Chain A
Amino acid sequence: MAEFESKLPLEKNHVFEACHHVVKALRASDNNLDANLRKLLSDLESHLSTFVMVDDTEVEEDAGFSEIKERFKEAEKRILAWEQNQSTILEAGLSEADHFFQALYEVHTVLMGFSVKANQKEKDVYNQATVALDIAMLRLEKELCDVLCQHKQNVNLETLAVSSRGKEVVYNDESFVSLDDEVVVVAEASSHEDDADLVDPLVVPHVKAIANAMFACGYGQAFSGAFISVRREALEEYMFFTLEMERLSCVDVLQMEWEDLNGKMRKWTKVLKIITRIYLPSEKHLCEQILGEFDSVSTSCFVDISKDTVLSLLNFGEAVAMRPSQPEMLERFLSMYEATAEILLDVDNLFPDETGSFLRVAFHELSRKLADCTTATFLKFKDAIASNESTRAFPGGGIHHLTRYVMNYLKLLPEYKDALNSLLENLEVEDSITEITGQDILPSTFSPMARHLRSIVSTLESSLDRKAQLYADVSLKFIFLMNNFHYMVQKVKGSELRHFFGDEWIRKHIARYQRNVTNYERSTWSSVLSLIKDSNDSVDILRQRCRLFGLAFDDVYKNQTRWSVPDPELRDDLHISTSVKVVQSYRGFLGRNAVRIGEKHIRYTCEDIENLLLDLFECLPSPRSLLSSRRR
């Protein structure tokens, strides 16, 4: 650099110096100087200072200055050396990093030491220092990005508790969409304390040193900008690649087929928990570690890093909440609602202040919306059961798919009992159990959810009663009701549901299907057995009655082998109780009258009857021809 100095005669130099002093003194003397005058003086002063003054003190200063300059040149060299170096300073080792920061400190000292009265040489050094600083800052920015990228770590999902829920396959028909077998992976963010390390903890002090240096040199914005962009990219990569979330528009969500959406909702619920309970707290922790000394910067960086991803999670929730609610969406809605309700506290902690308040508020709103949706869907579910009408009797009297659907559905709900209880708390419902009675002592039996569950099942019962009316055969009607009530009781007894329905409910419903058993036996067998009642009839009449009994039995056999009692135990019980009644009566009848009637007039032996009765309710495809197989 061309250094030129004005070579002035010594005397003139003194005059200039004197002037300079006068001007300086004048400016210093009065702070209330007129603005114009002040400006004039300041101009004059800077003008005078451009002349180099050579005197004794100057020589001394020069000595001090040349040392500064020397050190600056050394520092500059160090900084520039890194320009050609592609590896990170971190890799070069601790002492190299120290040297770099030391060089930066030298440069910074030059800049800080600058005063208005600096001479030309000093100004030149100052100017060079601004350039060196900028080069160093740019180098640090690159260092920051490289280090953050190279030492990025992902949340290890295997450390998360994984639980699975098996689900029953449910009969699928035209109206109720099936619930398929599925395994749900629930991330339980059990331990908040041990945040994941998103960046290798070993490099954090280095990154922090970069932050301190850049902020001290007035390059804080550059640091934040680079930091945010790298960390945001890492979050996006995690969310959209590692977790395979998809960004979906409202149009996409509203047009999507239920099966597809079901999967997306499931994924959302899982991702929401991972992001808000594990990833973001860790991210926030990282921000605090590195930027903790610049409090508001740390907060705003964290919000900027997470905002985009968080908004896309919120958007999906909002879009889903706009779908017209369908009964089959209840469980998904419940789990989404439950997830949002669960994470509200986490979200409050993530965004406690003004900067992120819109995200905090948005989560609370979303949770409320999902609550509304879930309640609406729950009520729709009940409505759908109530309005489920059939036009013809359910063949075979087996378990109606509505019963299967409803009961299997209900079985999924205890999992969400807290969510449901809070949602249903203020919703009036008619309940069969009105007050605490002797047997039931569990509080869950009287929870809002329990009342609603019983109410749903009683809606189902009404619907089944209407369906039962469609049977022309009164006996089949009883079999149908028996099957369905038995199924309901089994489902309740064999699952968490029993704590909600309570013992009294179970007892009442067992009594109900047992009544159906009795009713069935009466309606089918009373007339048949009346044929072989004890009486003093003539041989002809006895023979006639024996024949009629055979025909009636054939008739029952033909019909009822096609009926269905799917539960093997229930079927066995029914076989036994029927057998006891029928075979005993028949054995008595034969015992008293067989001789008189004559063997050739007796169509069935007691053993025949006993064996044939076992074929009842086996849901055989076509009536078995009795005559060909049994006739001797």
Chain B
Amino acid sequence: MRPAQDNQGSFLGRISIRRNQFVDVNNEQEQEDLELFQRHIADRFTELLSPPPQQQPPSDEANTVAPVAATEQIMSVTWLRKLMDVFLCCEAEFKAILLMGRDPTQISKPPFDRLVPEMLDRSIKALDICTAVVNGIDSVRHYQRLAEIAVSALEQRPLGDGNVRRARRALANLVVALSLEDKENTSGGGGGGGNKTTERSWSFGRRSGGSSASKGGATIGQLKSSSWAVGRNWSAAKQIHAMTGNLNPPRGNEAAGLPQPMFIMSTVMVFVMWVLTAAVPCQERSGLANHLPVPPKHLSWAQSLIGIHEKIGDEWKKKEKKGSAGLMEEMTRMEKLGHSLIEFADAFHYPAEKEASESAAAQVAEMAEICRRMEEELVPLQQQIREVFHRIVRSRAEILEVLEQAGKLSAPVV
């Protein structure tokens, strides 16, 4: 559990502070700022799409078992953390453009009297997604614990039938949890994204009345609406859909002004929320792949974003058919390793055959490495998402304050 401050330096340093120097924003200056903003967006997402050559320290002991590139791969937990940084940077820069040195009345006039409330509305929906995702990461931490149990059981020497039995049980639970769809996770009206289901059958079908052990997920505990992470009937997919409903690229002379960065920022926000929702278990996401309209291809800032979107979208469609708890790269690998280790376990006879146990040992080591990475990065990721949450809240408040100054949102009552 590291403090959140750890990951703040990375984006704060990158915020363009040059706007501070210009209180008097003339049109030319604004144009320049807008262009710069677009370029920064493009740069940041390009870096996310194809990370620069690895600077991974070679001393990493896991190098031999885990492919180095995996750490930075799209949807890996490290990559997701970078994505959060990118979001925070974009958001800070956007807010500077929107608010700094600007006459408050400017953003209360048409078309902003429509665009700003729409944007604020989107940001509230994003908050709920953050909550759901933070909860979803808890589910991932639950998978991590199952994997850790399997690892520690399979690391026993000599490896006895009892150890394998134990590992087999944890792996079965793990694999079932990883391939559960939201619908199954939440059937019966709850489930906050998967962890509730699987945790309830931590090792066996508790509450099933029978003592039949070791088939995790076989009995999905009676789920209750209380287990929703966000609220009854809340659906991540529907929220994403609602966020994109009125999100259209500005046309005509609006395209040259402030509506442009507003559109960009909203697109980035929806995109980031969409990615998070796809990455980890999340309350109700059927049809998620269809919900994100791709920004027009000719927009230069959007190229890399579209590239990432396509990659993830393809993966999601593939997974959606067979069911998946999330596209986080580590989870995908965990699932693969899980299946393969179950095979090993099923074929296991005491005493272990040398060849089989060596190849299993390599897989166990890889699994251990994934667990280690999750142990290191999941909590910071959660903290970043809560940071995003608070940032959105703060920005919303600041924008409302400016609008209030503009006298357009004067006290609604009395």
Asked if A and B bind, the verdict is: yes
Give the B-binding residues of A (Cβ under 8 A). 83-84, 86, 114, 123, 126-135, 137-138, 141-142, 145, 175-177, 218, 221-222, 225-226, 228-229, 232-233, 236-237, 239-241, 246-252, 254, 307-308, 311-312, 315, 318-319, 322, 324, 326-328, 354-355, 357-358, 362, 365, 380, 383-384, 387-388
Give, as a whole number of angstroms, the nearest-CB distance from B98 to chain A: 18
Give the A-binding residues of B (Cβ under 8 A). 1, 3-4, 124-125, 127-128, 131, 134-135, 138, 145, 148-149, 152, 156, 158, 160-163, 165-166, 169, 192, 199-200, 202-204, 206, 211, 213-214, 224-232, 234, 239, 350-351, 383, 386, 389-390, 393, 396-397, 400, 409, 411-414
Known contacts A83-B211, A127-B162, A129-B160; A357/B3 CB under 8 A: yes
Give, as a whole number of angstroms, the nearest-CB distance from B301 to chain A: 29
Residues in B whose Cβ lies below 8 Å from that of A218: 152
Residue of B nearest to A146 (CB): B206
Give, as a whole number of angstroms, the nearest-CB distance from A352 to chain B: 13
Residue of A nearest to B396 (CB): A322
Residues in A whose Cβ lies below 8 Å from that of B145: 221, 225
Q: A131 and B160: CB pair below 8 A?
A: yes
Residues in B whose Cβ lies below 8 Å from that of A358: 1, 4, 383, 386
Q: B400 and A324: CB pair below 8 A?
A: yes
Q: A175 and B413: CB pair below 8 A?
A: yes
Q: B226 and A142: CB pair below 8 A?
A: no
Known contacts A311-B134, A315-B131, A358-B1; A326/B413 CB under 8 A: yes
Known contacts A248-B231, A249-B131; A129/B413 CB under 8 A: no
Give, as a whole number of angstroms, the nearest-CB distance from B243 to chain A: 11
The 7 A-B pairs at the shortest CB distance, nearest first, are namely A130-B162, A130-B160, A240-B226, A384-B414, A131-B162, A249-B231, A134-B162
Give, as a whole number of angstroms, the nearest-CB distance from A241 to chain B: 7
Q: A251 and B229: CB pair below 8 A?
A: no
Residues in A whose Cβ lies below 8 Å from that of B229: 247, 308, 312
Q: B206 and A247: CB pair below 8 A?
A: no
Q: A142 and B204: CB pair below 8 A?
A: yes
Residues in B whose Cβ lies below 8 Å from that of A138: 169, 203-204, 213-214
Partner of B412, one of A126, A254, A324: A324
Q: B200 and A229: CB pair below 8 A?
A: yes
- What is the predominant secondary structure among interface residues of chain B facing chain A? helix
Partner of B226, one of A176, A241, A328: A241
Q: B351 and A123: CB pair below 8 A?
A: yes
Residues in A whose Cβ lies below 8 Å from that of B206: 142, 145
Q: A357 and B393: CB pair below 8 A?
A: no
Give, as a whole number of angstroms, the nearest-CB distance from A233 to chain B: 7
Q: A225 and B383: CB pair below 8 A?
A: no
Q: B127 and A250: CB pair below 8 A?
A: yes
Q: A221 and B412: CB pair below 8 A?
A: no
11 additional contacts, CB 8 Å, given A134-B166, A247-B226? A131-B161, A134-B163, A142-B204, A175-B414, A177-B413, A221-B148, A229-B199, A233-B200, A251-B125, A252-B231, A311-B131
Ordered by A's residue number, 7 sampled pairs between the chains whose C-beta atoms are within 8 Å are: A138-B204, A221-B148, A221-B152, A247-B230, A250-B128, A252-B231, A322-B397
Distance A324 CA – B397 CA, assembled complex (angstroms): 9
Partner of B231, one of A84, A239, A247, A322: A247
Known contacts A322-B393, A383-B411; A126/B160 CB under 8 A: yes
Distance A383 CA – B226 CA, assembled complex (angstroms): 41
Q: B199 and A225: CB pair below 8 A?
A: yes
Give, as a whole number of angstroms, the nearest-CB distance from B240 to chain A: 13
Residues in B whose Cβ lies below 8 Å from that of A355: 1
Give, as a whole number of angstroms, the nearest-CB distance from B392 to chain A: 10
Partner of B232, one of A127, A236, A247, A387: A247
Q: B228 and A247: CB pair below 8 A?
A: yes
Q: B414 and A222: CB pair below 8 A?
A: no
Give, as a whole number of angstroms, the nearest-CB distance from B339 to chain A: 21
Q: A328 and B413: CB pair below 8 A?
A: yes
Distance A354 CA – B3 CA, assembled complex (angstroms): 9
Distance A291 CA – B396 CA, assembled complex (angstroms): 44
Distance A326 CA – B169 CA, assembled complex (angstroms): 56
Distance A135 CA – B156 CA, assembled complex (angstroms): 17
Q: B413 and A327: CB pair below 8 A?
A: yes
Residue of A nearest to B383 (CB): A358
Distance A232 CA – B200 CA, assembled complex (angstroms): 10
Residues in B whose Cβ lies below 8 Å from that of A362: 386
